[in-house]
Structure 1
Amino acid sequence: MPTHRTTDATPKRIRRMRTKAWRAGTAMIVDRSSRYGNPWRVEGNILTAPDGTTRSLDTPDAARKEASTRYRRWLDGEGPHTYAVGRRTFDRHRILTGLDRLRGRDLACTCPIPGSGQPDNCHATVLIDLAAHPDKSSP
């Protein structure tokens, strides 16, 4: 079984489930438990920043969109190089230098999959884009 998708297939995001029988298969897990996790956390329509401050948005999707946008800006160089959140440290340099591991791979995150025609407001979508276009970021 191959460890990654072939270059002619477009990588996609799949939803990581926390059920006993769920397996990632060949997808790379990029949720908050991984080195690629987003330091901005979403619970319902509440966005929690890495410093612990919270912001209530109109909908859960609006909160996911804001978290994804902030993640992209952070990877583009905005803000500090690292964020300490609880016992985790999110490191921009480590994420960017690891993008080559994601290239061509399906990525798994716990965010819900959007309906047909809806935008995918998940940080994994940012990672898919950056891995496919390494010229858009620099470590």
Structure 2
Amino acid sequence: MTTEPRRIQRRRVKGWTLSRAADPFRGGVIVSRPSRYGNPCKVSLMREMGHEDPHLAAATNYRTWLAGDRTDDPTDAGDHRRARILESLPQLRGKDLACTCPLNQACHADYLLLRANMPPTELAAWITQVIARVDRQRIRAGEPPLHPAVAEATR
């Protein structure tokens, strides 16, 4: 039995359950595409774009997007989705995370594990920085900030 939270490959076969795959004491959370935490960047799109390692490209895109980069998705929907993920990130702390990506390939769940298991004060500071970064980009684009108080406090 491992002591650190880990990534689990979610299976779509009869009999597979997260409760059997995850550590019984920690529990697990499904973070694959249709979930709240799913990666909006599709591996198939990265493959079509000619990336040598489409899983790595999709995971890297998720990492930059979650960190507040609006380049690929400068929409209200994308900003609200990111905000929901950031708000619930502390709930992943200590949990095993399940995604359909093969374990020998890059996955956005690896980044979620890294961030969710940061010390709580560091995680809170990082989330505040990301929110402020997104709001500054929104203001530059002539859009209202999602979190005006945070954007104002971090100027």
Query: Alpha-carbon deviation of 1:67?
Result: 0.7
**Rg larger in structure:** 2
Query: Alpha-carbon deviation of 1:136?
Result: 3.7
Give the helix-richer structure, 1 or 2.
2
Q: Does 1:34 align with 2:35?
A: yes
1:77 maps to: 68
Task: Give the counterpart letter for 2:49 in structure 1.
Answer: R
User: TM-score with structure 2 length normalisation?
Assistant: 0.65
1:51 maps to: none
The one-character-per-residue Cα deviations of 1:67-95 (angstroms, maximum 9, x if unpaired) are 11110111111013533xxxxx9700000
Q: Which runs of 5+ in 1 are unaligned?
A: 1-7, 49-53, 84-88, 115-119
SS at structure 2 position matched to 1:20: coil
Q: Distance in 1 between matches of 2:56 and 2:80?
A: 19
1:91 maps to: 81
Structure with more contact order per residue of length (Cα contacts < 8 Å, sep ≥ 6): 1
1:132 maps to: 117
**Residues 23 and 90 (structure 1), Cα distance of their counterparts in 2 relative to 1, 3 Å cut:** farther
User: TM-score with structure 1 length normalisation?
Assistant: 0.72
C-alpha contact 1:82 1:91 (8 A) present in aligned 2? yes
Q: Distance in 1 between matches of 2:16 and 2:59?
A: 25
Task: Give the counterpart letter for 2:50 in structure 1.
Answer: S
Q: Which runs of 5+ in 2 are unaligned?
A: 20-26, 132-155
Identity of aligned residues (%): 40
2:96 maps to: 106
